[in-house]
Chain A
Amino acid sequence: MMAKLKPEDLSRIAEKMRRQTLLREGAGRAKVTVHMGTCGISAGARKIMTTLLGLIDQQQVQDVILTTSGCAGLCSREPMMTVEIKDKAPVKYVDLDEKKTLTIFTDHVLGGEIVTDFALGMGSERVS
């Protein structure tokens, strides 16, 4: 059972999470996010996730954070994933399949080269 929070605990958790998840603070070298809303899953996002899990396991990759999140908004281009290499802008990949995922994992996640053929764009969305 976790302790009940006090208001000041929120910033402590936020700080801890930022340290853990923000690559520039040293948690990992790359972060791969597979967008798994209902729309993404129906377009095949689970296969992308399984492929990535397999690759990480098979190649004993230690410094890549693999995570999921909800829909990225562009249903017509799913499945989608975002690859973020330490100190670089995040890159969104669209219309994925297993083969493309393998290429992106090898070239971009491990090799640091953006796979321009499959990339939609880089940077982040405007948040108010």
Chain B
Amino acid sequence: MIVQPEGIFYQMLTVENIPNLVEEHLVKGRPVDKLMYVPSKGKPPIPKLSDIAFFSKQRLVVLKNRGLIDPEKIDEYIARDGYQALAKALTSMDSEQVIEQVKGSGLRGRGGAGFSTGLKWELTRKSSGNGKYIICNADEGDPGAFMDRSIIESDPHSVLEGMVIGAYAIGAAEGCIYIREEYPLATKRLHIAIDQAREYGLLGEDILGSGFSFDITVHRGAGAFVCGEETSLIGSLQGQTPEPRIRPPFPAQSGLWGKPTNINNVETWANIPTIINRGAEWFASIGTESSKGTKVFSVVGKVNNTGLVEVPMGMTMREIVFDIGGGIPGGKKFKAVQTGGPSGGCIPESLVDLPIDYERLMEVGSIMGSGGLIVMDEETCMVDVARYFLDFLRSESCGKCTTCREGIAAMHDIVADICNGKGEPENIGLLEELAEAIKDASLCALGGTAPNPVLSTLRYFRDEYDAHIKDKKCPAGVCRALISYRIDPEKCKGCMLCGKHCPEKAIGGEPKGPQTIDLEKCIKCGVCRESCKFEAVLIE
């Protein structure tokens, strides 16, 4: 007998066992160990996935088929109710009813901005003009983010099905998927999925015999971060330089080739089939007041369980980092979590009980973003983090707006100076002034949000900036110009392992005696610290 949803197997049951089992497991939720399936030889039973926090705290809507189907076989998708939502929409709903469902579900754009998906569809639908387009934005560019790649790789048909339903609702005959060249496996699986869907008549002319026709083409982007911005993406699709343009007109009025165009992100599209299948009310029952459904996050950084997780909106950061993520490796102290990629911000430990939704993240100076979630521990320098994102953004700025092109570079140079021990107290004011100018005078979200990593680290980690500027110290021990390595003679056992690994031969001393580092030769690479088994190498 199997008890779902835990998937617990009971074996060799007799009628007498049943009352106890019902009482204990079904009523009280306590599985009955002595009746459970146990591998022979008396080995302890292995845990159930539902007892492992990494899995048990997740709720799979978008990732419902992960690990369960072969993404290259359409029949396996169909076997798990695939394309049922499309059939339902085409045979029993008109386009307005579909839009009503999506609006009623409360689904908001999963690319980061969080605009109501149903409203966006409605605006494009109501736009006058024929030859409307829909676009799937798979130009996932945030460092450390891989939600969209994984959705496409494990369940490409969920995205296609969402797009066909969207096209039907909006009245579009053509769809494009804009995917970055760095995602070859996802691209391959998309092509296979599209071919199979065409063979079945789930794409192309007269879909499912309904009279509705729609097809999808795949376009590869060269991996410029700015192409994730919708007007740049449209420019790139048209073969132009991918530079953002002024909105309005919004793509819903004038998008690809001047036609009304609806752009949604991969995860947004992948939510659609379940919303149509289960209904708006069901979807809206998950999440918080303002943010409905689930969100997929890629959890990376200084955390034990890195991976792709899907959680209901409203879960706290603490649950994600400590329960699902399993906490910080090596007994280190948690410092912050960075969300929203280069446009986002850092959430400090004091706010770790914050329930995650669009508004609350905004209130604390970060954003939902596309779902990258980088965990940082006490050995992460927040000034260095700000420098890293500025470095990323200055090379990804398209250069159209002066404030973004020159302003980010200027902010980067100031922050890099601070990391190098050349910071001055007046730098902070200048950074804040530049941040305002960049936000005010940049056209698109890349520039508009570029100062966020600096502003949020200044907001919560001002003491680290002060330590760099006034004391010329890096408290996390990261910024090389501000640290030096020293061997604690008390702890050193004279094993000489550090000296063996030192690339500069900067460590000397007698065997079994305390070793010393020649600071003239030391390049502060940290290899000695990593190789020491006695934690005798200190950073000062």
B-binding residues in A (CB < 8 A) = 1-7, 10, 13-14, 16-18, 21, 33, 35, 37-39, 41, 67-77, 82, 88-92, 113-114, 116, 119-128
Cβ of A2 and Cβ of B2 under 8 Å apart? no
Cβ of B75 and Cβ of A122 under 8 Å apart? no
Cβ of A121 and Cβ of B70 under 8 Å apart? no
Cβ of B185 and Cβ of A68 under 8 Å apart? no
Q: For the complex, what is the distance from the CA of A114 to the CA of B221, rounded to whole Å?
A: 45
The verdict on B454 contacting chain A, using a C-beta distance below 8 Å, is no
Find the residue from B7, B67, B90, B209 having the highest chain A CB count within 10 A.
B67
Cβ of B91 and Cβ of A7 under 8 Å apart? yes
Cβ of B70 and Cβ of A89 under 8 Å apart? no
Q: For the complex, what is the distance from the CA of A126 to the CA of B307, rounded to whole Å?
A: 17
Cβ of A38 and Cβ of B206 under 8 Å apart? no
Q: Give the distance to chain A from B252, nearest Cβ to Cβ, in Å.
A: 30
Find the residue from B202, B286, B307 having the highest chain A CB count within 10 A.
B307
Cβ of B46 and Cβ of A82 under 8 Å apart? no
A-binding residues in B (CB < 8 A) = 2, 5-9, 37, 39-41, 43-44, 46-52, 54-56, 58-61, 63-64, 66-72, 75-76, 78-84, 87, 90-91, 146, 149-150, 153-155, 183, 185-186, 199-202, 206, 208-209, 274, 286, 294, 304-309
Q: For the complex, what is the distance from the CA of A77 to the CA of B66, rounded to whole Å?
A: 16
Q: For the complex, what is the distance from the CA of A38 to the CA of B209, rounded to whole Å?
A: 36
Q: Give the distance to chain A from B5, nearest Cβ to Cβ, in Å.
A: 5
Q: Which of A10, A18, A68 contacts B84 (CB 8 A)?
A: A10
Q: What number of residue pairs across chains A and B have CB atoms under 8 A from each other? A: 174
Cβ of A114 and Cβ of B46 under 8 Å apart? yes
Q: Give the distance to chain A from B183, nearest Cβ to Cβ, in Å.
A: 8
Cβ of B67 and Cβ of A72 under 8 Å apart? yes
Secondary structure of the B contact surface, majority rule = loop
Secondary structure of the A contact surface, majority rule = mixed
Find the residue from A21, A92, A121 having the highest chain B CB count within 10 A.
A121
Q: Give the distance to chain A from B69, nearest Cβ to Cβ, in Å.
A: 6
14 example contacts (A-B, Cβ-Cβ < 8 A) are as follows A5-B201, A7-B209, A10-B87, A37-B153, A71-B153, A71-B154, A73-B55, A89-B8, A122-B7, A122-B48, A123-B6, A123-B8, A124-B68, A126-B5
Q: For residue B39, which residue of chain A has the nearest CB?
A: A114
Q: For the complex, what is the distance from the CA of A39 to the CA of B55, rounded to whole Å?
A: 18
Cβ of B155 and Cβ of A126 under 8 Å apart? no
Q: Give the distance to chain B from A36, nearest Cβ to Cβ, in Å.
A: 8
Q: For the complex, what is the distance from the CA of A120 to the CA of B55, rounded to whole Å?
A: 11
Q: Give the distance to chain A from B162, nearest Cβ to Cβ, in Å.
A: 16
Q: For the complex, what is the distance from the CA of A20 to the CA of B442, rounded to whole Å?
A: 57
Q: For the complex, what is the distance from the CA of A49 to the CA of B60, rounded to whole Å?
A: 27
Cβ of B308 and Cβ of A71 under 8 Å apart? yes
Cβ of A128 and Cβ of B61 under 8 Å apart? yes
Q: For residue A71, which residue of chain B has the nearest CB?
A: B150
Cβ of B90 and Cβ of A116 under 8 Å apart? no
Cβ of B209 and Cβ of A121 under 8 Å apart? no
Q: Which of B2, B51, B64, B90 contacts A89 (CB 8 A)?
A: B2
Q: Which of B50, B84, B201 contacts A4 (CB 8 A)?
A: B201
Q: Give the distance to chain B from A120, nearest Cβ to Cβ, in Å.
A: 7
Q: For the complex, what is the distance from the CA of A70 to the CA of B308, rounded to whole Å?
A: 12
Cβ of B201 and Cβ of A38 under 8 Å apart? no
Cβ of A17 and Cβ of B59 under 8 Å apart? no
Q: Which residues of A contact B82 (CB under 8 A)?
A: 10
Cβ of A35 and Cβ of B67 under 8 Å apart? yes
Q: Which of A21, A73, A128 contacts B308 (CB 8 A)?
A: A73
Q: A77-B305, A126-B50 are in contact. List 5 more A-B contacts (CB 8 A).
A: A73-B308, A82-B67, A89-B48, A114-B43, A116-B39
Q: Which residues of A contact B39 (CB under 8 A)?
A: 113-114, 116
Q: Which of B64, B69, B78, B308 contacts A13 (CB 8 A)?
A: B78
Q: For residue B5, which residue of chain A has the nearest CB?
A: A126
Cβ of B46 and Cβ of A14 under 8 Å apart? no
Find the residue from A14, A18, A73, A114 having the highest chain B CB count within 10 A.
A73
Q: Give the distance to chain B from A116, nearest Cβ to Cβ, in Å.
A: 5
Closest 5 CB pairs of A and B: A70-B154, A4-B201, A123-B7, A17-B79, A72-B67
Q: For the complex, what is the distance from the CA of A32 to the CA of B41, rounded to whole Å?
A: 24
Given A7-B208, A38-B186, A68-B70, A123–B307 Cβ distance below 8 Å? no
Q: For the complex, what is the distance from the CA of A90 to the CA of B56, rounded to whole Å?
A: 16
Cβ of B308 and Cβ of A75 under 8 Å apart? yes
Q: For the complex, what is the distance from the CA of A125 to the CA of B183, rounded to whole Å?
A: 26
Q: Which residues of A contact B66 (CB under 8 A)?
A: 69-73, 125
Q: Give the distance to chain B from A62, nearest Cβ to Cβ, in Å.
A: 20
Cβ of B209 and Cβ of A6 under 8 Å apart? yes
Q: Which residues of B contact A69 (CB under 8 A)?
A: 66-71, 154
Q: Which residues of A contact B41 (CB under 8 A)?
A: 113
Given A74-B307, A75-B307, A127-B64, A37–B150 Cβ distance below 8 Å? yes
Q: Which residues of B contact A128 (CB under 8 A)?
A: 59-61, 64, 274, 286, 294
Cβ of A10 and Cβ of B209 under 8 Å apart? no
Q: Which of A5, A41, A122, A124 contacts B46 (CB 8 A)?
A: A122
Cβ of B200 and Cβ of A17 under 8 Å apart? no
Cβ of B52 and Cβ of A4 under 8 Å apart? no
Cβ of B6 and Cβ of A73 under 8 Å apart? no
Cβ of A17 and Cβ of B75 under 8 Å apart? yes
Q: For the complex, what is the distance from the CA of A127 to the CA of B49, rounded to whole Å?
A: 12
Cβ of B52 and Cβ of A120 under 8 Å apart? yes
Given A121-B46, A128-B286, A74–B79 Cβ distance below 8 Å? no
Cβ of B306 and Cβ of A124 under 8 Å apart? no
Q: For residue B44, which residue of chain A has the nearest CB?
A: A116
Q: Which of B50, B149, B294 contacts A38 (CB 8 A)?
A: B149
Given A13-B75, A73-B309, A121-B51, A4–B200 Cβ distance below 8 Å? yes
Q: Which of A41, A73, A121 contacts B307 (CB 8 A)?
A: A73
Cβ of B154 and Cβ of A37 under 8 Å apart? yes
Cβ of A122 and Cβ of B49 under 8 Å apart? yes
Q: For the complex, what is the distance from the CA of A17 to the CA of B60, rounded to whole Å?
A: 22
Find the residue from B58, B78, B83, B202 having the highest chain A CB count within 10 A.
B78
Cβ of A6 and Cβ of B47 under 8 Å apart? no
